[in-house]
């Protein structure tokens, strides 16, 4: 899903947007796109249990009558519940759209932020010369974005400063204008960084301009 989210031309536009932003600041911007921030096994269990319970409760009386059994026969209920649960469980696991229905907003926020922090270190954004790497992390399943800056930036710019750029990204994804939205957010981040971290004579590009996982 992540590999197809941006076309080759859009990926170039994003890379160019990062390049333009970095012409104004010594900060190192890295947009990163992932399919999901967590596998969410509990979502499949929740969904499977809910759908199978409703299906078995509604279907049990009809099936029981066919075999001259009581409508509340527990074996009929289980005979319907188990296959419905297994089928729904598999469908939710392979369908991001279905999985999203069984996730709470707080659960998505937490996992996206945790995954963004992990990506910051696994992608080695902390290894820049001036501790000025900044990750623009986008997770498609959750339709969430999070921006993490290294210690050099955090000393001067609070986390709240990035929220407008995050909102631009998430709103753009909902409107299916993801490329334009991300390019705009990159420019916004670049403008914020320029005031505190202007470009320097010896500046060089130390990180990738776009990561897709």
List pLDDT tens digits, range 74-132: 888 899 999 999 999 999 999 988 999 999 999 999 999 999 999 999 988 888 888 88
Separation between Cα atoms, residue 120 and residue 193, nearest integer Å:
18
Average per-residue pLDDT for the chain: 89
Contact 80, 55 (CB under 8 A): yes
Tell me what pLDDT residue 43 has.
Answer: 95
Tell me the pLDDT tens digit for each residue of 148-157: 999 889 999 9
State the pLDDT confidence band at 205, using cuts at 50, 70 and 90: low
Separation between Cα atoms, residue 147 and residue 134, nearest integer Å:
7
Among 13-22, 102-111, 194-203, whose mean pLDDT is lowest? 194-203
Q: Hey, is 103 helix, strand or coil? A: coil
Check pLDDT > 70 for residue 2.
no
Check pLDDT > 80 for residue 171.
yes
Domains of the chain, earliest start first: 2-38+104-212 (3.10.310.50), 41-101 (no CATH)
pLDDT exceeding 70 applies to what percent of the chain? 96
Q: Hey, is 207 helix, strand or coil? A: coil
Q: Hey, is 123 helix, strand or coil? A: coil
Tell me what pLDDT residue 83 has.
Answer: 94
**Going along the chain, which residue ranges are E strands?**
28-34, 133-139, 144-149, 211-212
Tell me what pLDDT residue 206 has.
Answer: 61
Tell me what pLDDT residue 71 has.
Answer: 73
């Amino acid at each position: 899903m992540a590999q197809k989210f941006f076309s080759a031309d859009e990926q170039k536009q994003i890379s160019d947007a990062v390049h333009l932003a970095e012409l104004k600041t010594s900060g190192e911007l890295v947009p990163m796109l992932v399919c999901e921030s967590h596998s969410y096994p509990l979502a499949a269990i929740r969904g499977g249990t809910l759908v199978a319970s409703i299906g078995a409760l509604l279907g049990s009386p009809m099936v029981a009558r066919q075999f001259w059994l009581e409508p509340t026969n527990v074996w009929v209920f289980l005979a319907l519940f188990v296959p419905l649960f297994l089928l729904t469980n598999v469908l939710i696991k392979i369908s991001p759209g279905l999985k999203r229905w069984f996730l709470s907003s707080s659960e998505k926020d937490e996992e996206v932020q945790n995954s963004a922090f992990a990506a910051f270190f696994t992608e080695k954004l902390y290894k820049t010369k001036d501790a000025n790497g900044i990750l623009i992390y986008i997770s498609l399943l959750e339709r969430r974005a999070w921006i993490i800056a290294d210690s050099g930036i955090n000393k001067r710019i609070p986390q709240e400063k990035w929220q407008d750029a995050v909102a631009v990204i998430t709103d753009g994804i909902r409107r299916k204008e993801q490329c334009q939205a991300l390019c705009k957010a990159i420019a916004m981040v670049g403008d914020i960084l320029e005031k505190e971290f202007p470009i320097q004579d010896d500046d060089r590009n130390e990180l990738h301009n776009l990561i897709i996982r």
